[in-house]
Amino acid sequence: MKKLSKSIYILVPIIIVILISLIGMYNYRKPVTLHKVFNEAIVVKKSNKELIKETTIEINTKLHRGLYRGSILNFNVNFINRLDGEIIIDNKTYIFEGFTEKSVLNNIIGSAFEKNQSRLDGFMVKMIDLDTIVLVGTGKNLYNVVAPSKTIEDYQHALDETIK
C-alpha cells in the first residue's frame, strides 16, 4: 500500500474550508424576499393633518445583503443592506428602493415613485423596523401615509418616532 504524501494532509483541509466559505458566502449574499401587509394605514393631508382615508399598504421587496461600509482597522465593520421592490397603496404600484443604516433590518430609508413618472413625485420612505412605515409625500403628493395607525394621534406618534 502506498503512503500518502504530507502535502495531501495539508491541502485537503484547506480545500474543504474554501468550499465551505464559498457556499456560506453564496447563501448569505443571495437575495431574501420580504412581504409585508399593513392593514391599518391612514392617508393624511400634509398641510393641515386632515385624515383623508384609511387604506392598506403592501410591500414586496428583495433584501440584498452585504454592501460593505466601515473600517477594518478600527474594527468598525458593518454591511449596508439594500432593498428594492414595490409598495402597493390602493392598488397603485410604486417602485421602492431603500437601504438600511447597519447590518440589521431597522432604520430603513428609501424612496418610492410611480413607474414612468418623475422621481420627484413620490414618497420618502422611513421604517423604524418592519412593523412601522411612514411615507412622506414629495413633489405633487400632498399627503403622507402612515401604518400602523387609525387616528391622527397615532399618525403623529409614528411620525415623531421615525423622524427622530
Question: What digits encode the pLDDT tens for the residues 91-120?
Answer: 888 899 888 876 666 788 888 888 776 666
- Whether 9 maps to a domain, the answer reads no
The most confident of 40-44, 104-108, 159-163, by mean pLDDT: 40-44
The pLDDT value given to residue 1: 46
Q: Reply yes or no on whether the pLDDT at 3 is more than 50.
A: yes
Range of the domain at 109: 31-163
Q: Reply yes or no on whether the pLDDT at 80 is more than 80.
A: no
- Whether 100 maps to a domain, the answer reads yes
Please state, in angstroms and rounded to a whole number, the distance separating the CA atoms of residues 79 and 115: 29
Please state, in angstroms and rounded to a whole number, the distance separating the CA atoms of residues 111 and 87: 10
Q: Tally the domains of the chain.
A: 1
pTM above 0.85, yes or no: no
- Whether 21 maps to a domain, the answer reads no
Instruction: Compute the average pLDDT of residues 123-149.
Output: 81
- Whether 41 maps to a domain, the answer reads yes
